[in-house]
């Protein structure tokens, strides 16, 4: 898909690695890359009001096709003005395709070449998804970037199954490609292939030939080891066109993000900052804090000194109290803090790339996290 509504500007590639500094311009504004998208599964980043979300520094958010088609239904979202207006986010939005749920809800899914039939995780109602339907839902939702339907499997897995799913992903990508109609939406392809380097390369080459507006790596962070994922990035990213954004779906931990940026990835999404925040874990440059720990009971310092977020206007002791007392504000504040932390991490990564020192930056971060993180989680 090509469109005048989208421009990818590659500003600079780090002299010491493949990290890229770029801007992706969408109909709802620019995204400075590498970028991290908070996850608004059901049209809401859990517990975070839109003005708070904006204050974290996020530029683009993710919505979830499977969840939104179940509730409230894409026709309701469309009747309420589309996903941007519905959730009150006037910046860029990306929707996934539902392909991830072929993995995460595998026991509720029947996959055929023509379509996928889900038994809804809410009420058991049967929901059909096909490449065409995934595109139609995403066109009704109206995100800036929409994703092809892909066939995601758990890893590790049998090579024959991976190969079959990868081939299907290619056929489905083609069906999505000819089905997508809106010129104000960019359709991204998704490279599959499990941990098999040849399959990944082949899939990337095939998709590249179809000339999509952007390219994602899917089927990762689904059970494999981090090093296995990095290896997939090593062999796959070089096969992708340099003039299109590259998106690593569902990743990840801060260290994973830096490893992927180093290998040339431009875009990320993950529930970790919000989910971990709801579970009383705060990211800091000295490693994670577990806020339920007694050691924070009378700790008057902020989660992280210098962090401008709302949570860091309070003390660790107060936030611990909120979690111990079961107050909603605890999950809210740590979600905000962690999202702010992720955005700051990516902002610093962008600055490091601009001055050709990304790898030094990455090593410093990893060292600081490992030092305190081990102590804190021991």
List active site positions.
Answer: 96, 269
Contact between 248 and its own copies (CB under 8 A)?
Answer: no
Cβ proximity to its own copies: between 183 and 313 the closer is 313
What is the β-pairing status of strands 29-33 and 246-248? unpaired
DSSP secondary structure letters along 9-57: EEEEE-TTSS-EEEEEEETTEEEEESEEEPB-TTSS-TT--HHHHHHTT
Measured between alpha carbons, how far is 219 from 202 in angstroms, rounded to an integer?
15
Start-end of H helices in the chain: 50-55, 65-70, 74-79, 82-87, 100-104, 131-141, 159-179, 197-209, 226-236, 254-262, 272-278, 316-324, 329-354, 358-377
Contact between 105 and its own copies (CB under 8 A)?
Answer: no
Cβ proximity to its own copies: between 49 and 377 the closer is 49
Q: Which stretch binds its own copies (CB under 8 A): 123-131, 234-242, 285-293, 308-316?
A: 308-316
The whole-angstrom distance between residue 147's C-alpha and the CA centroid of its chain comes to 12
User: Which position among 2, 11, 29, 81 is part of the footprint of its own copies (CB under 8 A)?
Assistant: 81
Q: Is 184:213 a contact under the CB 8 Å cutoff? A: no
Cβ proximity to its own copies: between 156 and 317 the closer is 317
The set of residues, in sequence order, having a beta carbon less than 8 Å from that of 277 and lying 6+ positions away, is: 331, 333, 334, 335, 336, 337, 338, 339
Q: Which stretch binds its own copies (CB under 8 A): 66-74, 104-112, 137-145, 179-187?
A: 66-74
Contact between 48 and its own copies (CB under 8 A)?
Answer: yes
Cβ proximity to its own copies: between 34 and 47 the closer is 47
Q: Which stretch binds its own copies (CB under 8 A): 101-109, 134-142, 202-210, 332-340?
A: 332-340
Contact between 101 and its own copies (CB under 8 A)?
Answer: no
Cβ proximity to its own copies: between 85 and 181 the closer is 85
User: Which position among 22, 26, 44, 56 is part of the footprint of its own copies (CB under 8 A)?
Assistant: 44
CB count within 10 Å of CB 128 equals 12
Contact between 125 and its own copies (CB under 8 A)?
Answer: no
**Residues in 269-298 at the binding interface with its own copies, rule: CB under 8 A:** 297-298
User: Which position among 87, 129, 165, 207 is part of the footprint of its own copies (CB under 8 A)?
Assistant: 87
Q: Distance of CA 78 to CAs 67, 177, 309, Å?
A: 15, 22, 33
Residues within the interface to its own copies (CB under 8 A): 42-44, 46-52, 67, 71-72, 76, 79-81, 85-88, 297-298, 300, 310, 313-315, 317-318, 320-322, 324-325, 327-329, 331-333, 336
């Amino acid at each position: 898909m090509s469109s005048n509504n989208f421009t990818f500007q590659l500003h600079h590639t780090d002299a010491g690695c493949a990290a890229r500094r770029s801007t992706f311009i969408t109909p709802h504004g620019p995204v400075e890359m590498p970028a991290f998208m908070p996850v608004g599964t059901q049209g809401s980043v859990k517990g975070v009001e839109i003005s708070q979300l904006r204050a974290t520094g996020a530029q683009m958010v993710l919505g979830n096709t499977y969840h939104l088609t179940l509730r409230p239904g894409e026709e309701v979202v469309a009747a309420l003005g589309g996903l941007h207006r519905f959730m009150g986010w006037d910046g860029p939005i990306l929707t996934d395709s539902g392909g991830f749920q072929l993995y995460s809800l595998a026991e509720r899914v029947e996959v055929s070449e023509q379509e996928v039939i889900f038994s809804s995780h809410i009420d058991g109602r049967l929901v059909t998804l096909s490449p065409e339907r995934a595109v139609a839902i995403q066109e009704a939702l109206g995100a800036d970037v929409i994703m092809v339907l892909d066939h995601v499997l758990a890893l590790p897995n049998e090579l024959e199954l991976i190969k079959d799913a990868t081939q299907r992903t290619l056929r489905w990508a083609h069906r999505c490609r000819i089905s997508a109609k809106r010129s104000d939406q960019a359709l991204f392809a998704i490279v599959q292939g499990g941990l098999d380097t040849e399959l990944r390369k082949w899939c990337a080459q095939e998709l590249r030939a179809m000339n999509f507006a952007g390219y994602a790596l899917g089927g990762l962070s689904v059970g494999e080891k981090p090093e296995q994922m990095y290896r997939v990035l090593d062999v796959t990213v070089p096969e992708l066109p340099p003039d299109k954004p590259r998106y690593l779906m569902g990743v990840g931990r801060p260290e994973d993000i830096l490893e992927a940026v180093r290998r040339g990835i431009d875009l990320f999404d993950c529930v970790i900052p919000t989910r971990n925040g709801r579970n009383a874990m705060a990211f800091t440059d000295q490693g994670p804090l577990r806020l339920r720990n007694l050691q924070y009971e009378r700790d008057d310092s902020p989660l992280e000194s210098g962090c401008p977020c709302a949570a860091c206007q309070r003390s660790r002791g107060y936030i611990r109290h909120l979690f111990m007392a079961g107050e909603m504000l605890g999950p809210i504040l740590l979600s905000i803090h962690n999202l702010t932390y992720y955005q700051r991490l990516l902002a610093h990564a962008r600055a490091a790339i601009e001055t050709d020192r990304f790898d030094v930056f990455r090593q410093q971060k990893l060292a600081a996290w490992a030092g305190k993180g081990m102590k804190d989680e021991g």
